[in-house]
Amino acid sequence: MVRTEQPSEAATQALSKPSGTKTQAAPSGLPDTGSALATLFIKEGYLTADQLVYARKVQAKLATPATLLHVLQELQFVTPDQVRQTLHTNHVSVRLGDLLVELELLRAADLEAALALQKSTQPKKKLGEILVEEHFIEARRLAEILAFQLGFIYVEPNFADLDHNLLAQGPRKSYAEHLFLPVARHQNQVVVAFADPLDTRARGVAERIFGKDQLVAIATKAAIQEALALLARGVNHPKIAVANDNTVVGMVNALFEAAVQEKASDIHIEPMKDRLRVRLRCDGILIPHKEFRKELAAPITGRIKVLAGADIAEKRRHQDGRILYEDPRRGCTIDMRVSFYITIHGEKIVLRLLNKQAQMLDLAEVGMAPKMLERFRNDALDTPTGVILITGPTGSGKTTTLYSCINTLNDVHTCIVTAEEPVEYVIDGILQCSINPKINVTFDDTLRHIMRQDPDVIVLGEIRDRLSAETAIQAALTGHKVLTTFHTEDSIGGLLRLLNMNIEAFLISSTVVCVVAQRLLRAVCLHCAEPYVPTPAELRRLGYSTTDLQEATAQMGRGCSLCRFTGYQGRIAAFELLVLDEMVKDAILARRTSHEIRRISLASSGLVTLLEDGLVKAARGLTSYQEVLHNLPRLTKPRPLRELRRLLGEA
């Protein structure tokens, strides 16, 4: 049922101040609390001056910063219902960004970045528009929040459901210029959806067309513009409001090109209850890209299935496919692996982008510390035989490191044969085989034939089962060098997983030369980086004190247009190199626990853990402490920073 409650005059003015307007003083007779919301809570009788003083003291002592509103609610001085009632009935003399920060819907750093961008735009854009465009907050989320907090109605104007008689009452030019649409009639009132319901000019135009007796609603700008686009194309009947083939082809191609433009690794096309959401994974983080009407889910899915060679009639089972997309703008081919996954709302599609023309890194450029790199070259790559394992979860950069190793070993005197699914980098002089089960080129069959090719170096894309693990071990026993990847948490976990595959301990200790574990961390944007001091809570989680990081030069990105206001641009790798010495081999033969093997490795083989390598990089300002805490396993307490720098050759 449509809500009929009208927003108060105070709520209507609540956020209509220009973004440059200063916060006004407290209303006459009320104390100046420094917070517009706190002042109004006192006015409404929800909060006392003594409670506010106490909340301020608690806020000042918190190890992790929190807003005053959060503290007030945690202390149960005010309730969420009281917050909504206060916003609904009072004139809130606070800017949009400040209100979102107080409501904990936006970080203060993000607000500063958005305001800086607003100053640089010509013509000047509204703050809400910038927040949405730069992905500080989702358009849908912002609209729902404002509707809920200020008492407006939230609607999604689907063109097929609009009252076309109401649409005909006003000129399309006014709708497009002021971004509003009549949606429906409700109890003799016209429901009008505005992209900005606090825009007095738009409200005035709507009142001249539909009268003052109207229900004000909030809708996203994208939804209104999409409905207006259909109206402009002359689609006057709901049944005709279906995209044709050319439209769908253009939409899908635009998605692919946008993903390449944003340097995304994955495209997520997700059916929701009432819409189709598209997100791009950039630098390891999913970023909202676009939303489509629910009606477009079937044609978009069908188009991608055709390109991927999947069964377009099958909608009850999961499917896989592959797309080779010729990018006309860049003149390159984008190889995409496609997965169709059945959900309760339809088929979710994930496309993994594999750019075969991507620049391959030299081994010295992958990000290993000087001493770690030197040891990896001398004690692992230069050994004549043995297994080299590169481990980590999906998307941790294992393939990039693997190919850097291959490129280092590639010369005219060496025969290198690979078995990959699929081939992600094409290297001249390497015998690369792409697994294709559809034509019976299976992984198992390829492993049997690869030994007959007289290889010096064998590269297995991934150890996935006991057969591939045994093949790698047997190849090493017969005098070959084997490079492969593995999905494990850390270097010790790679050894233990081989044991759990029922590979004999003596075979592991005699063939595995080294294990490299790695993760990718977002790199601090150098264009907006500024010095950063970790909070007490972060220090406690890291296992350090303030004095332990005195020599650190940590940085944090403030956010700029070059990094999409995230504070990060690109990624760097953190490594853990375990070279098996006699002490570690004995521990494997004795089937010691992971804790014992790790302790022995730290003491005898010079192991530097993933966490420790990440901390050294964060202390140099290459990444942030938050990235280290969020992405790296904390299994042991890190050693002092000075000692780690000495072990890694960065002192």
- Domains of the chain as residue ranges with CATH: 9-150 (no CATH), 245-355 (3.30.450.90), 363-522+571-610 (3.40.50.300)
Calculate the alpha carbon distances from 214 to 14, 211, 287, 515, 557 in Å: 19, 7, 36, 68, 46
Checking if the pLDDT of 32 tops 70, the result is no
CB contact at 8 A, 342 and 318: yes
CB contact at 8 A, 191 and 184: yes
pLDDT band at 576 (very low <50, low <70, confident <90, very high): very high
pLDDT for residue 8: 37
CB contact at 8 A, 104 and 67: yes
Q: Which of 8-17, 452-461, 637-646 has the lowest mean pLDDT?
A: 8-17
Higher pLDDT, 378 or 236: 378
pLDDT band at 387 (very low <50, low <70, confident <90, very high): very high
Burial class of 602 by CB neighbour count within 10 A (0 to 12, 13 to 18, 19+): middle
CA angle 523, 524, 528 (to 5 degrees): 150
The percent of residues above 90 in pLDDT, for the chain, comes to 31
Count CA atoms within 13 Å of residue 204 on its CB side: 3
Q: Which of 532-536, 568-572, 640-644 has the lowest mean pLDDT?
A: 532-536
Q: What is the average per-residue pLDDT within 319-335? A: 82
Higher pLDDT, 64 or 498: 498
DSSP code per residue over 440-508: TB-HHHHHHHHGGG--SEEEES---SHHHHHHHHHHHHTT-EEEEEE--SSHHHHHHHHHHTT--HHHH
pLDDT band at 420 (very low <50, low <70, confident <90, very high): confident
User: What three-state secondary structure class fits 171?
Assistant: coil
Q: Which of 8-12, 95-99, 372-376 has the lowest mean pLDDT?
A: 8-12
Checking if the pLDDT of 530 tops 80, the result is yes
Q: Which residues of 279-301 are buried (b: 16+ CB within 10 A; e: fewer)?
A: bbbbbbeeebbebbbbebbbbbb
Q: What is the average per-residue pLDDT within 535-560? A: 85
Report d(CA 266, CA 256) in Å as an integer: 10
Strands 568-579 and 512-524: antiparallel
Report d(CA 265, CA 351) in Å as an integer: 8
CB contact at 8 A, 533 and 597: no
In the structure, how many helices (H) and strands (E) does the chain have?
27, 19
Report d(CA 254, CA 112) in Å as an integer: 31
pLDDT band at 577 (very low <50, low <70, confident <90, very high): very high
Report d(CA 215, CA 186) in Å as an integer: 8
In the sheet that holds 457-460, the strands lie side by side as 431-434, 416-420, 457-460, 481-486, 386-391, 512-524, 568-579
Amino acid residing at 206: A
Checking if the pLDDT of 429 tops 90, the result is no
Phi, psi of 506 (to 5 degrees): -70, -30
The percent of residues above 70 in pLDDT, for the chain, comes to 88
Strands 189-194 and 180-186: antiparallel
How many residues does the structure list for the chain? Answer: 651
pLDDT for residue 651: 63
* H or E element, residue 398: helix 398-409
Strands 386-391 and 512-524: parallel
Structure tokens at 579: 């070279």
CB contact at 8 A, 160 and 242: no
Which residues are CB-contacts of 505 (< 8 A; sequence separation ≥ 6)?
Answer: 499, 588, 589, 591
pLDDT band at 340 (very low <50, low <70, confident <90, very high): very high
pLDDT for residue 18: 34
CB contact at 8 A, 495 and 508: yes
pLDDT band at 388 (very low <50, low <70, confident <90, very high): very high
pLDDT for residue 84: 74
Which residues are CB-contacts of 647 (< 8 A; sequence separation ≥ 6)?
Answer: 371, 606, 608
Phi, psi of 418 (to 5 degrees): -120, 155
Q: Which of 21-35, 246-260, 337-351, 635-649 has the lowest mean pLDDT?
A: 21-35
Distance between alpha carbon 511 and the CA centroid of its chain, in Å? 38
pTM: 0.70
pLDDT for residue 239: 40
Q: What is the average per-residue pLDDT within 528-545? A: 87
